[in-house]
Amino acid sequence: MELVASNKVVGGWHKRYRHASQTTQCDMTFAIFLPETANSGKQVPVLYWLSGLTCTDENFMQKAGAFKIANELGIAIVAPDTSPRGENVPDDEHTAYDFGLGAGFYLNATQPPYHTHYQMYDYVVKELPNLIENHFPVSKARAISGHSMGGHGALTLGLRNATRYSSISAFSPIVHPSACPWGIKALSGYLGDDKTHWQNHDAVLLIKNKQYARPLPMLVSQGTADNFLEEQLQPWHLQKVATEQNYPLQLEMCDGYDHSYFFIASYIEKHLKFHAKHF
C-alpha cells in the first residue's frame, strides 16, 4: 500500500492509501479514519461507508462531520472509492455520471467491457476487509452504511452477507433498482438484460424472497425534500416489503432534508450510535 495522505483529526488519524487490487485489476484508493483507541493498540470495530454516484473516498471523509463522534465511540471508518479507475478502465461511452467511472453500483459486472474491472462487490466484501484487517488495529466486527448508490450497496451487501456485518444503515438509498431509471441502466449495463440476474442486487427483492442468512438491524434515513425521492429512491417499496416479511427495518422520513451531505452531516451521529449498539 502507498500512503497518499495523513491528517490528524480529533485525536485520531485520517489516512488515504492507494494499492494494486487483484479484484478490480487496477489501482484502488481508500480512506480510513482510526480513532485514538486504535492508536493505543486496541482493536476497534469498523464501519464501511459506501458513497454515491460521482463520489470518491473523499466526499464522506471531508463533508460528513463523522470523526468526532466516531472517535468518542471508538469506531474506525473505511471509505472505498465508488468504482475502479484508470486509463484502461472503460467508462460510459457518453461519459454519463450515472454509469461507468464513479458509478460501480457495488456489484460484479458480467458484461463486457466492464466485467474485467468492475468487480466492486468482491472488492468491498472480500479484498478490502482482508487488507484492512491485516494492516490496521481493527477487529472483525463490521457494519456497513452508505448514501444513495452507496445506500443501495450497503443494503444489498449487508443483506447478502449477514454473517459478516452486525448492522446496516443507509441515507437516501436506491432501494428497488430494478424499478427505477438509475438502477435499470446500471443493472442492464453491468449484468445484461436478463432480470433474473438483477435480483441479488435489489434490496426489495432480497427481502421479498428472503435471500439473507439472518435479519440484521437496519436503519434508513430519507429526506422529504430529496429531489430524487419519487423517481429514483422510492423508500415506500422497502417499507412495504419489510412490513410484509417482518424484517427489522427502522425507516425515518426527515422533514425538509435533501440529497446532499448537509443531510448526512445532520444524522451521521445517530447512525454511528446505531451501529455502536450492535457491534
pTM of the model: 0.97
Q: Which pLDDT score is estimated for 95?
A: 80
**14 carries an active-site annotation:** no
- Could you give all domains of the chain from N- to C-terminal order, each with its CATH number? 2-278 (3.40.50.1820)
Side-chain half-sphere of 178: how many Cα atoms within 13 Å? 17
Whether the CB-CB separation of 57 and 43 falls below 8 Å is answered with: no
Cα–Cα nearest to 119, from 93, 168, 81, 145: 81
155-190 residue pLDDT tens: 999 999 999 999 999 999 999 999 999 999 999 999
215-251 residue pLDDT tens: 999 999 999 999 999 999 999 999 999 999 999 999 9
**98 carries an active-site annotation:** no
Q: Which of 167, 176, 226, 275 is catalytic?
A: 226
**259 carries an active-site annotation:** yes
Residue with cell 462487490: 121
Show the low-confidence residues of the chain (pLDDT under 70). Answer: none
Q: Which pLDDT score is estimated for 41?
A: 78
CA distance linking residue 175 with residue 167, whole number of Å: 17
Q: Which pLDDT score is estimated for 94?
A: 76
Q: Where are the beta strands (DSSP E) in 58-149?
A: 76-80, 138-146
Q: Which pLDDT score is estimated for 39?
A: 83
Q: Which of 148, 166, 169, 221 is catalytic?
A: 148
Cell, residue 47: 464501519
Q: Which pLDDT score is estimated for 92?
A: 85
Q: Which pLDDT score is estimated for 165?
A: 98
Q: Which of 14, 201, 237, 259 is catalytic?
A: 259
